[in-house]
Amino acid sequence: MTLVLLGAFSFAGTWLNIPRVAMLEHTARNLYFHVPMWFAMMALTALSAVHAIQCLRTNNPLSDIRSSTAALVAIVFGLLGLATGSMWARFTWYEGTNIWWNFDPKQSMAAVQVLIYGAYFALRGALDNPIKRARIAAVYNIFAFVTVPFLLYVLPRQLESLHPGAEGNPAFSDITDPIMRVVFYPAVIGFIGLGWLLYTQRVRLSRASTTLQSILRKNL
């Protein structure tokens, strides 16, 4: 279902007619990719926090695996979101300037959000004891998730920015007329589904790796 959705919105996003907006032109199609990536990241950080809470409650190693895996996939979507956003800005807002990064508030706070989750893995790497690592990382993960709505939504809306939705303005603008929304909303569902697919496969791989290591230790 996820792959069908991704294929459908990719085709529709490429070939359906879109409104012509000054400066954006056909780059407005990036809306179908750039924004859904951030929705996917937010969904995965929420999933990661849920399993972090479960890990603190039960000390179940599987909850730690699920929590860290969701955070890892979230970072992937965050990095892709930063990359597509930087390229979009370069060829629209900053066209002719050779500027790829201008410390726009929303852009900068999104980067900080990715760094916060990057620090989560740095913290995990610094702890050798698996039980201690799981519990400390879970606490950090919960606090990291609390920052998500503030850094990605609340604070950017209060500051002057080139992004739609800044300073309390509507996040949807002239480029998001009904025909674009028909593609945009399925794209959001599709990217969240892709995140879930990557997450579940990675969890299975991690569980298999853990089982194999346990078997090898017993046989040595």
What tokens were used for 72?
């890892």
Give the least confident one: 11-20, 80-89, 196-205: 11-20
Tens digits of per-residue pLDDT, 174-193?
555 677 777 888 889 999 99
User: So where are the chain's domains?
Assistant: 2-219
Q: Cα 198 vs. chain centroid, distance in angstroms?
A: 12
Read off the pLDDT of each residue in 50-67 and give the average, rounded to a whole number. 96
Count CB neighbours of 43 within 10 A. 21
Average pLDDT in the 71-94 region?
Answer: 90
Q: Quote the pLDDT of residue 159.
A: 79
Query: Which tens digits make up the pLDDT trace of 129-155?
Result: 999 999 999 999 999 999 999 999 888
Q: Is pLDDT above 60 for 171? A: no
pTM reported for the whole predicted model = 0.86
State which fold the 2-219 domain adopts: Four Helix Bundle (Hemerythrin (Met), subunit A) (1.20.120)
Does residue 218 have a pLDDT over 90? no
Would the pLDDT of 12 be above 90?
Answer: no
Measured from the Cβ of residue 12, the count of other Cβ atoms closer than 10 Å reads 17
Looking at the predicted structure, is the pLDDT value of residue 92 above 70? yes
Concatenated DSSP letters of 123-160:
HHHT---HHHHHHHHHHHHHHHHHHHHIIIIIHHHHS-
Cα–Cα separations (whole angstroms), residue 133 to 70, 74, 191, 214: 16, 20, 30, 18
Q: What is the pLDDT of residues 101-131, one digit of tens each?
A: 888 888 899 999 999 999 999 999 999 999 9
pLDDT at 23: 57
Predicted local confidence at residue 63, as pLDDT? 96
The least confident of 33-42, 59-68, 99-108 is 99-108
Please compute the mean of the pLDDT values over residues 91-96 and round it to a whole number: 73
